[in-house]
């Protein structure tokens, strides 16, 4: 057989394979077209639109003004995380309109999206899980509240799908160490009859929408600090909260009992005990302890690890080592929280400027820090 004839046969085979798969998928949407990744390297860029509206202009490692999503994509990031508040009347950001803009920018750079439902009008975290004001009248009606959570989750996914902006992964709540959808002072211990009903309704909404839309949208449950994940996922499993794909963790040395030398075994244990994929979806490390604006910095000297100073090199070394520990433990992703929450003339709820400008991946001149290199190291 001549080389020319062999090439012709191979081309015919490829043509019919392409034709077959096109016919197979005809009539089905395939929104998540990003390349599948064995390990996600991400950035939570929820603040970016606001920062740019406040005048921030980001620069890459070569000190060239560059689209911030391009900076992260070029550095090696393949996942963008974005938070969604229900009806944040106190800000024009992190609402659905703003989230749509962020997801579109991520998709334009071929990056996957992790959508973080806070199920609140404001920050949801271990200190508060404030129910959206629109749902407050049903605070004590568990069944009706569960239906509202289901309908809201499903509706958001349907809206994003109609714009071809479906996320790859969905978080059912943010840092849900306490019971979700509470009012005021947190109730302890967790009422698992209520909590499991609500969480499973959110999970059900994602599963049902995935089926209807012929997509595979994965589900994550997110807990702050690995030591809290030990008891939380044990209680969740006991109370039949089991249908999820990812364990998501926040890991900040400032608030954790674990350092980089003893973190690995707990990550391995979580992953293997529950047979789930594991991702650290929030971490950060200061490149300086200097505060340049009127907003106090959240990360300070109490969060510094031995041999990892508050410097650009220290930041890079921390992130590189954390990535190594995570991979060696069988983890599947690492996301930097708010690496672009730089100092601008705008204000937060608590001060003027940024509470994070010393722990972003941009220096005070808005040039990418050495820490950005962890994506490719």
> Active-site positions?
175, 282
Alpha helices in the chain (DSSP H): 3-25, 48-53, 68-75, 96-108, 142-162, 192-213, 226-238, 264-274, 312-328
Compute the chain's Rg from CA coordinates: 22
Q: For 256, list phi and psi in degrees, rounded to 5.
A: -115, 150
Query: Which CA distances in Å does 104 have to 143, 164, 278?
Result: 35, 9, 26
Q: Which helix (H) or strand (E) holds 278?
A: strand 277-282
**In the chain, what is the straight-line distance between the N-terminal and C-terminal CA atoms, in Å?**
47
Q: For 326, list phi and psi in degrees, rounded to 5.
A: -65, -45
**DSSP-based helix, strand, coil % in the chain, nearest 5:** 40, 15, 45
Q: Tell me the C-alpha distance between 217 and 80, whole Å.
A: 15
Q: For 224, list phi and psi in degrees, rounded to 5.
A: -85, 125
């Amino acid at each position: 057989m001549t080389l020319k004839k062999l090439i012709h046969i191979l081309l015919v085979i490829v043509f019919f394979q392409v034709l077959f798969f096109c016919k197979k998928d005809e009539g089905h949407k395939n929104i998540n077209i990003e390349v599948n990744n064995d390990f996600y390297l991400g950035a939570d860029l929820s603040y970016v639109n606001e920062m740019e509206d406040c005048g921030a202009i980001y620069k890459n490692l070569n000190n060239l003004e560059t689209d911030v999503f391009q900076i992260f994509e070029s550095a090696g990031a393949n996942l963008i995380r974005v938070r969604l508040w229900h009806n944040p009347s106190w800000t024009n950001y992190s609402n659905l309109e703003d989230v749509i803009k962020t997801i579109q920018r991520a998709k334009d750079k071929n990056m996957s999206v992790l959508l973080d439902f806070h199920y609140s009008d404001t920050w949801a975290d271990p200190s508060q899980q404030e129910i959206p004001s629109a749902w407050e009248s049903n605070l004590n009606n568990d069944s009706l509240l569960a239906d509202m959570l289901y309908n809201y989750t499903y509706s958001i996914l349907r809206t994003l799908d109609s714009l071809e902006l479906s996320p790859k992964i969905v978080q059912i709540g943010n840092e849900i160490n306490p019971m979700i959808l509470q009012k005021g002072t947190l109730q302890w211990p967790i009422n698992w009859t209520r909590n499991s009903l609500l969480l499973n309704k959110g999970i059900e909404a994602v599963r049902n929408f995935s089926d209807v839309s012929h997509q595979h949208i994965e589900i994550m449950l997110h807990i702050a600090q690995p030591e809290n994940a030990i008891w939380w996922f044990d209680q969740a499993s006991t109370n039949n909260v089991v249908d999820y794909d990812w364990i998501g963790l926040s890991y900040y040395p400032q608030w954790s009992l674990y350092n980089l030398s003893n973190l690995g075994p707990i990550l391995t244990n979580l992953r293997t005990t529950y047979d789930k994929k594991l991702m650290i979806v929030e971490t950060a490390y200061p490149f300086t302890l200097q505060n340049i604006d009127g907003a106090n910095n959240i990360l300070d000297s109490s969060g510094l690890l031995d041999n990892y100073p508050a410097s650009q090199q220290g930041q890079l070394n921390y992130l590189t080592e954390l990535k190594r520990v995570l991979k060696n433990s069988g983890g599947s992703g690492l996301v930097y929280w708010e690496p672009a929450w730089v100092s601008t003339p705008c204000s937060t709820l608590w001060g003027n400027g940024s509470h994070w400008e010393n722990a972003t991946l941009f220096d005070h001149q808005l040039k990418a820090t050495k820490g950005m290199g962890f994506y490719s190291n």
